[in-house]
Structure 1
Amino acid sequence: MDFSTKPTYIKVKDFTVSNEEFELIIDEELQLLKTYPQPSPVNLPKYYESEDYISHTDGKRTLFEKMYQFIKTHSLNKKLNLINSLLPQKGNLLDIGTGTGDFLALAKNAGWKTTGIEPSQKARAISISKGVPFVENVSDIKKTTFDVITMWHVLEHIPNLEQQISELKRILKPNGTIIIAVPNFKSYDAKHYGTFWAAYDVPRHLWHFSKTAIEKLFAKQDLKLIKTLPMVFDSFYVSLLSEKYKTGRMNFFKAFYIGLKSNIKAKQNFEYSSHIYVIKNS
């Protein structure tokens, strides 16, 4: 994908680590945004070096962290129920971007043969303590190995997007399933908060997706989008962080209002704050 001549969609700031500003360049045909400039692989890890990067910790230090962990527990069960409903015959499950391992630990206890990939040493250590087995890279996996591959808010972090999707195709069994969850920059909360929208999360988020982008990118590898599902809790979580970035404090009442309004509008246009995409191999 050549973004060299594409226009700027919006300029946004890294509110978590560096306070640096980045451009989001848009491919109009794909309806895909690319963070520019993208940090080199050598420099990218430093942008994750924050105690506030909550997906790499089991912390419950603050009210926000306690709320996050409560919602995470609810979401984990919904994720497992979704997979079980799609594939009642349990098999091999790969989760890319395992974080602290709670999802794979739950899936393993439910009868799935689980494997994880997680680049963060800190998060991986927590996962290993929960009995989660790992491989280092997708390239280490033999072809047609997995019945299900999940990436929960991970695809937006992958530098080489098209190569990653090609690798997913390679290691997926025939008729296997890929489940992707990513933020949606076309949601109401994204438009409301603009440059303060927390789900842009530059430069950790290298890509920013729409429904069109997901369908077209995976279709290039003969992978078919068969179902799109809402993640209704994300609008509240993202709005709460966005309020902090915009005003300097977490306004719970305003964030709840915007999150609720986003979900109400999404009932009409199906542009939720985040979506889950179910994709099938041929």
Structure 2
Amino acid sequence: MKEKSSPSLNEVYYVCKDHTVSGEKFKLIFDPQTEMLVTHPRPQADELPAYYESPKYISHTDSRKTLTDKLYQKVKKYMLVKKLRWIEKKVPKKGRILDIGAGTGDFLFEARSRGWRINGIEPSEAARKKASEKNVKLSLDATNFKSEKFDVITLWHVLEHVPDLRSQIIEIEHLLKKNGLLVIAVPNFQSYDARYYKEYWAAFDVPRHLWHFSQNSFRHLLAGTSLKQTDLKPLIFDSFYVSLLSEKYKTGNTNFLRALYTGLKSNYRARFSSDYSSIAYFFRKLG
């Protein structure tokens, strides 16, 4: 496969289709100042909720209808524990944790069972309702937390959905304690599976994903802040799940074996570059 060379200023990187809801097409444009891809046109704030209204949007539904859904839920359960173990190695004393974009509350449910004091933010009313059924109370936004500080703040596949990145980073800085831990997990458009599937790569997920990150993106995005990157961890299962969806988008069939091979190849190549399909980045607040 011939890999795409480095994009130039304002280059249209791909034209991608919304396979989940609308069937509309959106451009991905390279921003050289942040080394991100930007979805264009970007839906207005009052238009965005409609693009999440689908039973296919699994993070808001807890769906187990298809084989892919069932695999997703099994892997998610395993990864919830793994993510918390990563955090607990860096923050041994369990304190207050805030999950931004908490979905249906599974991460916070597991965190509470391990002794964390939990809070969460989730814009989706349907997802908040699902969380409440697990006795996990989520807030619509950060209004209730303005005078509070947290030991850990997490965003698991959330930052790519946030309309105003700068405001979100400022808010995180305000809410995080000094020496607190921030974890941000996002897809990586420079991974092998992204380059292989190109415009069919499921993790582009336009227009719900407004921004598409590379490893260098955070160096630009967090420049001038008190947040310093200290580590990164691969989310190795994401390459398989994303490849399964991407195969269906590209060919109309699931093609489990081809998706498995692509996911394995992506993870193998990433051993040398750290360009995994999805990456969890760890930051400390220094000031």
Q: Smaller-chain TM-score range? A: over 0.9
- Paired residue secondary structure (2:130): helix
Q: Which residue in 2 is equivalent to 1:130?
A: 134
Q: What per-residue deviation string (whole Å, max 9, x for no partner) do you get for residues 30-75 of structure 1? A: 2111111111111100101111111111221111111111111111
Match of 1:95 among 77, 95, 99: 99
Q: What per-residue deviation string (whole Å, max 9, x for no partner) do you get for residues 55-97 of structure 1? A: 1112211111111111111111101111111101111100011
Aligned partners of 1:144 and 1:278: how far apart in 2? 21
Aligned partners of 1:63 and 1:136: how far apart in 2? 32
- Paired residue secondary structure (2:222): helix
> Superposed, which structure 2 residues align to 1:255-274 within 5 Å?
255-274=259-278
Match of 2:18 among 14, 22, 28: 14
The question of 1:172 aligning with 2:186 is answered: no
Contact kept in structure 2, 1:39 and 1:203, CA below 8 Å: yes
Q: What per-residue deviation string (whole Å, max 9, x for no partner) do you get for residues 106-137 of structure 1? A: 10111111001111111111111112122221
Aligned partners of 1:201 and 1:149: how far apart in 2? 24
TM-score, normalisation: structure 1: 0.96
Q: What per-residue deviation string (whole Å, max 9, x for no partner) do you get for residues 187-229 of structure 1? A: 0000000000000000000000011102321233221011111
Q: Which residue in 2 is equivalent to 1:142?
A: 146
- Paired residue secondary structure (2:216): helix
The aligned length equals 278
> Superposed, which structure 2 residues align to 1:101-120 within 5 Å?
101-120=105-124
Q: Which residue in 2 is equivalent to 1:249?
A: 253
Q: What per-residue deviation string (whole Å, max 9, x for no partner) do you get for residues 153-198 of structure 1? A: 0000000011101110011111111100000000000000000000
TM-score, normalisation: structure 2: 0.94
- Paired residue secondary structure (1:211): coil
Q: Share of identical aligned residues, percent?
A: 51
- Paired residue secondary structure (1:219): coil
Aligned partners of 1:87 and 1:79: how far apart in 2? 12
Match of 2:55 among 51, 57, 74: 51
Contact kept in structure 2, 1:97 and 1:117, CA below 8 Å: yes
- Paired residue secondary structure (1:115): strand
> Superposed, which structure 2 residues align to 1:175-254 within 5 Å?
175-254=179-258
The question of 1:74 aligning with 2:78 is answered: yes
Contact kept in structure 2, 1:145 and 1:172, CA below 8 Å: yes
Q: Which residue in 2 is equivalent to 1:158?
A: 162
Contact kept in structure 1, 2:55 and 2:63, CA below 8 Å: no
Match of 2:31 among 22, 27, 33: 27
Match of 1:279 among 277, 280, 283: 283
Moved over 3 A (4+): none
**Structure 2 residue ranges without an equivalent (≥5):** 1-8
Could you tell me how far 1:142 is from its partner in structure 2? 2.2
Q: RMSD of the alignment, in Å? A: 1.2
**Structure 1 residue ranges without an equivalent (≥5):** none
Q: What per-residue deviation string (whole Å, max 9, x for no partner) do you get for residues 4-35 of structure 1? A: x7332221111111111111111124211111
Amino acid at match of 2:204: Y
Q: Which residue in 2 is equivalent to 1:60?
A: 64
- Paired residue secondary structure (1:93): strand
Aligned partners of 1:139 and 1:129: how far apart in 2? 23
Could you tell me how far 1:139 is from its partner in structure 2? 4.0
Contact kept in structure 1, 2:131 and 2:138, CA below 8 Å: no
